[in-house]
Amino acid sequence: MNRSGGRKIWRLARIGISAGLLLWLFSRFDLKGLGTSLGELNPWMWIAAFFMLITAQVLSSIRWWILSKVCAFPGPWLSYLGFYFVGMFFNLFLPTGIGGDLFQIHFLSREEGRRIVAASTVVSDRFFGLEAMLLIGAVAVHLRSHPLPAPLRLFLPLSGLGLLGVMAFMPLMEHLIRRFWPTIAPYLEIISIIRRNPLRLVSLFALSFCLQGLGIAAVALLGKGMGIFLPMATYFVIVPIVALSTLLPISFNGIGVREGAFVYLLGLHGIDAGKALGLGLIFFSVQVAISLIGGIAYAAGVHRRSLGL
């Protein structure tokens, strides 16, 4: 079997896993109760969450633009905003929710070349987002008592500190990688450049904390609208774990995994499974609606524009 055939089979397997997980969740819980939970949501809360998440994505596009400027890529922020939303649209159809990153890399490098450097801006953008999410979860998990299993309680702070350690030891890592693994050295160079500019580093982390906070607050707002009343600190622990679970390459765009994670984590806090499943579905509906804005941008030909415009 050729590589293309293998990818198609694995893609179909992911779709099957997602469908299977959803069917299992729907068969296990009362659909009537799920419908009641969804019907309780105030539409204005959905709209508010929608605009909160859009604001978070706009901040994320600014972060990517700053990282691209570090690597001397041209173009105004509006071009990067359009490319970013088009990438989000393609995330709907590609696995793990990061497939659209490939389109961002393509948009950035098609005129300038430097594909590896373009990829480093997208990887670094993900790095700062992941680091902020882990640190938020690490702080929140110690603010209140959470019924999380010990491995999950340890995972958030240890992984967050681990990524900070990567930045702290970047000079040594760069030296070793340039010597023993030179092909990936360009991916690390951008972090090294940023690390030497404290003001830029602070601005990137500030953007990351703001956009992650907006995203988590949007989920909390949706939860409140569905009658799930939990402290904000609880969401600051739960949402990062849910987001990380959707990155596992076992489902299609995290479908099924996301909803199952909400059911499990909210269940630890005594929340009815129907409400937890409903929150996962409503949250995904907001994400889909925002991604469709990228579809409109794609249909309008935003992806064809030059970076110089």
Cα distance between residue 50 and residue 62, in whole Å = 19
Look at residue 218 in the predicted model and tell me its pLDDT.
95
Rg over alpha carbons for the chain, rounded to the nearest Å, is 20
Cβ(112)–Cβ(118) under 8 Å? yes
DSSP state of 146: -
Q: Where are the domains of the chain?
A: 3-304
Q: Is 244 exposed, middle or buried (0-12, 13-18, 19+ CB in 10 A)?
A: middle
Which of these, 132, 98, 148, lies nearest to 248 by C-alpha position?
98
Cα distance between residue 50 and residue 47, in whole Å = 5
Instruction: Tell me: pLDDT of 158 over 60.
Output: yes
Q: Which amino acid, 213?
A: G
Quote the mean pLDDT of the chain: 78
81: CB partners within 8 A, 6+ apart = 58, 61, 65
Least confident range from 19-28, 138-147, 249-258: namely 19-28
| 53 or 11, greater pLDDT | 53
Look at residue 18 in the predicted model and tell me its pLDDT.
46
Q: What is the pLDDT of residues 79-125, one digit of tens each?
A: 889 889 888 888 776 655 566 788 888 888 877 677 888 888 888 88
The number of CA neighbours under 13 Å toward the Cβ of 112 is 21
Structure token digits, residue 42: 């105030």
Look at residue 65 in the predicted model and tell me its pLDDT.
92
pTM of the shown model: 0.81
The number of CA neighbours under 13 Å toward the Cβ of 90 is 18
Look at residue 164 in the predicted model and tell me its pLDDT.
76
Taking CA atoms, 90 is separated from 7, 86, 279, in Å, by 17, 7, 23
